[in-house]
Chain A
């Protein structure tokens, strides 16, 4: 039982961080109706930005680099959305669906190769937030991961408050439900698109910066987290915020329990991502809309 509970604790800790990253993808999809194939690269960008900031300003506490990394990515996201995605929403692109796929894939390759050119192929790791481990019941958790999880939880709560209680959040919800109806009541959908993209990639980069001290950063470090995020948003129901949070927690738990109970412990971690994919396949088979997905009307 202790072992099971300790695996659950680890799963929840990682699940909250997964949820943060997936929430960014959900936000972008629900407002822009675009799958951001560069989401993993913004995660990578967050890690590198954090590393770069802490290498440049050596006296800075590592935690302070996290919001800065998120902000840098958000600004890049805003600029990218205005320059490359806005024309699509203005009806200036003939085949917008194909364009969205190609342009975000292009951004993904660009960012990955940019990281390779600037930081090289070798792994980097920014300094720890806090050294050592913290005892949580039956389990020792690295202080860095626990910090990342608590901050992710705080950020998720803040984001839910913004979406449900502020004017900007209500405007985002309105645009996600019907762009034309939102426009005729006075909301600028183009501005909301830009905001959602900036916020979404900022969340991915924040997740990257939060996990950077725990995992090495390399140019393709975003590949697995991005696949995981796609799985989570389909699991939760495309465009559903609650679904992303629940999906993140579920994937965190399934990966942790799957790896913990895998018969061959030496290979268990290699299959970690695959356990989530099994759940993904099952959901697609039995509830293709995901947990909170809606039927199209």
Chain B
């Protein structure tokens, strides 16, 4: 998997959400995307996943420009994502939620095989016993797990997770941790947005820090966390300086 963002910009009215962002991901990487509120993290994920179209710049996935594609077309090219506020299909059962992506993205699997795969993923995520329940009856954390399960049904190469740990019970957080490490070990790439610093520093091989739509740091977590620009972005400028 090769993803390259070249000078990607996005604005909403007078607000410049992304300001010429350039980024390159190659092979199987686990990238943490952090930054203060309003720094453009979710906008970046929305732009890569086709929810937004960039105003300027290019998004190249495996040699193909995907910046102008619709979200469903980006998904079919192997990019999956979750949302900060879960968007599981609330009036469908857990199993139906799992089947929707598998039916939408063409594959060689038969219906029975798809169901078996769904059960396998649900078991891994510890929610198989809830497969006949409506998504609306699940807790917030269980809905996050369901969304992660839906992602795997399309077999993506790049997974974009928007705040996967937010508001999740510590026990379910362990499951999400295991999910990320296991799926990453299978050769998939991740871009994970999180405000949970201890989780993101533990998980990530690389940290990208956004601030007011600009990348202010990009590198290994140990180095990034000592970066003065990052410290300043999070803690604010010292008034004495």
Residue positions of A touching B, CB distance < 8 A: 167, 170-171, 173-174, 177-178, 180-190, 297
Tally A-B pairs: CB < 8 A: 71
| CB pairs A–B below 8 angstroms (28 shown) | A167-B103, A170-B92, A170-B103, A173-B91, A173-B92, A174-B92, A177-B92, A178-B87, A178-B89, A180-B83, A182-B72, A182-B104, A183-B70, A183-B71, A184-B49, A184-B50, A184-B71, A184-B72, A184-B81, A185-B101, A185-B105, A185-B153, A185-B154, A186-B72, A187-B72, A188-B70, A188-B72, A189-B72
Complex interface: chain B residues within 8 A of A167 (CB): 103
Complex interface: chain B residues within 8 A of A190 (CB): 70
Please, how many angstroms separate the alpha-carbon atoms of A183 and B150 in the complex?
13
Please, how many angstroms separate the alpha-carbon atoms of A180 and B90 in the complex?
14
Interface flag for B231 (CB, 8 Å): no
B231 to chain A, nearest CB (A): 34
Check B75–A183 contact: CB distance below 8 A.
Answer: yes
Given A185-B105, A187-B72, output 18 extra A-B contacts at Cβ < 8 Å: A170-B100, A173-B89, A174-B89, A177-B91, A177-B92, A181-B88, A181-B89, A182-B89, A183-B72, A184-B72, A184-B75, A184-B80, A185-B100, A185-B150, A185-B153, A186-B105, A186-B154, A297-B90
CB-based closest 3 A-B pairs: A186-B104, A181-B87, A183-B71
Complex interface: chain B residues within 8 A of A187 (CB): 72, 100, 104
Check A171–B89 contact: CB distance below 8 A.
Answer: no
Check B71–A174 contact: CB distance below 8 A.
Answer: no
Check A185–B91 contact: CB distance below 8 A.
Answer: no
Number of residues of chain B lying within 8 A (CB) of chain A: 28
Please, how many angstroms separate the alpha-carbon atoms of A167 and B103 in the complex?
7
B49 to chain A, nearest CB (A): 6
Interface flag for B96 (CB, 8 Å): yes
Q: Which residue of B lies closest to A189 (CB)?
A: B72
Check B51–A184 contact: CB distance below 8 A.
Answer: yes
Query: For chain A, what secondary structure do more than half of its interface residues adopt (helix, strand, loop), or is it mixed?
Result: helix
Check B75–A177 contact: CB distance below 8 A.
Answer: no
B102 to chain A, nearest CB (A): 9
Check A185–B75 contact: CB distance below 8 A.
Answer: yes
Please, how many angstroms separate the alpha-carbon atoms of A173 and B97 in the complex?
11
Please, how many angstroms separate the alpha-carbon atoms of A190 and B73 in the complex?
12
Please, how many angstroms separate the alpha-carbon atoms of A183 and B104 in the complex?
9
Check A170–B99 contact: CB distance below 8 A.
Answer: yes
Please, how many angstroms separate the alpha-carbon atoms of A181 and B151 in the complex?
11
Please, how many angstroms separate the alpha-carbon atoms of A170 and B97 in the complex?
10
For B49, B51, B71, B87, which residue has the most chain A Cβ atoms within 10 angstroms? Answer: B71
Check B100–A171 contact: CB distance below 8 A.
Answer: yes
Please, how many angstroms separate the alpha-carbon atoms of A182 and B87 in the complex?
9
Complex interface: chain B residues within 8 A of A181 (CB): 83, 87-89
Complex interface: chain A residues within 8 A of B87 (CB): 178, 180-181
